[in-house]
Chain A
């Protein structure tokens, strides 16, 4: 029985069925399953599978987005129960923004959705974020990772400046830094001294997990 409902949940996420995902969550909890079991055995396998399908080119961007939305809706349903257990619910805290001079946000927003779907608490600084603002946010918060997006070749240098500003502010050891965006490569990430690079939203989640060892 429990396997059956987990399978239904996994399928609801895979198919991006918002309402199904929420109602199966309720059903599972009513049947006495813990919220954590529902999350780990029902929802997470679904969103992981979506990630695999996207990375091999079988799933397309809209499918990624609707699965992400179904996942978010289901997690929102479970969240009070997960938090009631007293344990730390979120995988980790993620600070995100598009670099100074760059006002593109679609890619950043997709990464945010995938992180949230995978249990990260995400704080968004928006677009065209000056390094000073990023340093202040890092200094004042307790984030595990700062991820920045640069969508244009001409705004890539701003990613470099941001890393330098974080270092200069004495905050480099406080946080892991990730970078992404269409023209960004692993070589560029290495060159500017970022800790991680991701080519797409799913890789971003995997990179976040491998940088911090935090998964939900």
Chain B
């Protein structure tokens, strides 16, 4: 299971303030907390700053790499920004993200090759998001084709089947879960990844919905997630579901996480 720590994101108010005021300690603490909790990548995002995005993202990358050895997940909707900052990374990064939109494919796939990076592919064309399982799987197939025909190995691709609020459409979470299963079955070697918070939009007790969704997604084959690893209940649900799915030999991942006090 690949865990991408989501906390250093400029759409969060405290992070945006820390970035704007140059508060290194705050950002570094967020990196350490996630690294200690078992993150495999640290997501870094400054997209809320628009024209200053590249400048701030460079700063974040430097600040985060001072305190952690973990690779980064460079999170920007703008291929130009990714191009400007990627040379600063010390380890092969993950790039977040491509869609089927040609400018994003053309801008980012060469960087994936050059930097031996991995990449998140959203089940989204230039003007349409995959809503049904069939649409998601169809777009996933085209992403696999685009990525592999560029000379990139299929296991560098993390397909995000997109998660929509179940409160707005009772079938939307099921569509995502079905797509995860089908994508993992059809495209051998590819990974699936998703964020969790969108699923519970508009509902009470959101965290319960988020972690239950994660457990169900893991049961369908999800092998990566963008989440807050310092959320002990969420990590608890994750470690327990991996164990129950036979993906934790001798249950040692679960036991070790428990001993470190990471589960609740």
Contacts and interface: CB of A to CB of B under 8 A. Distances in A.
B189 interface: no
A62 B167 contact: yes
Q: Which of A64, A106, A128, A183 has the most CB of B within 10 A?
A: A106
B197 to A, nearest CB: 12
Interface string B46-90: 011010000000000000000000000000011000000000000
Nearest to B169: A106
Contacts of A104: 129
Contacts of A62: 167-168, 170, 202-203
Interface residues of B, number: 21
Contact of A60 (B11, B47, B128, B203): B203
Given A103-B124, A103-B129, A153-B48, 4 more contacts: A62-B167, A103-B127, A154-B50, A183-B48
5 contacts: A61-B167, A62-B167, A152-B77, A183-B11, A183-B48
B165 interface: yes
A127 interface: yes
Contact of B127 (A65, A110, A127, A152): A127
B165 A106 contact: yes
The winner among A109, A152, A154, A157 for most chain B CB atoms within 10 A is A154
A154 B129 CA distance: 17
A64 B165 CA distance: 14
Given A61-B165, A61-B168, A154 B47 contact: yes
A141 B47 CA distance: 36
Contacts of A103: 124, 127-129
A151 to B, nearest CB: 11
Given A153-B50, A157-B50, A183-B11, A60 B168 contact: no
Interface string A51-64: 00000000011101
A60 B204 contact: yes
A104 B127 CA distance: 10
A127 B129 CA distance: 11
Residue of A103, A104, A128, A152 with most partner-chain B CB within 10 A: A103
Nearest to A106: B168
B167 to A, nearest CB: 4
Nearest to B10: A153
Interface in A66-106: 103-104, 106
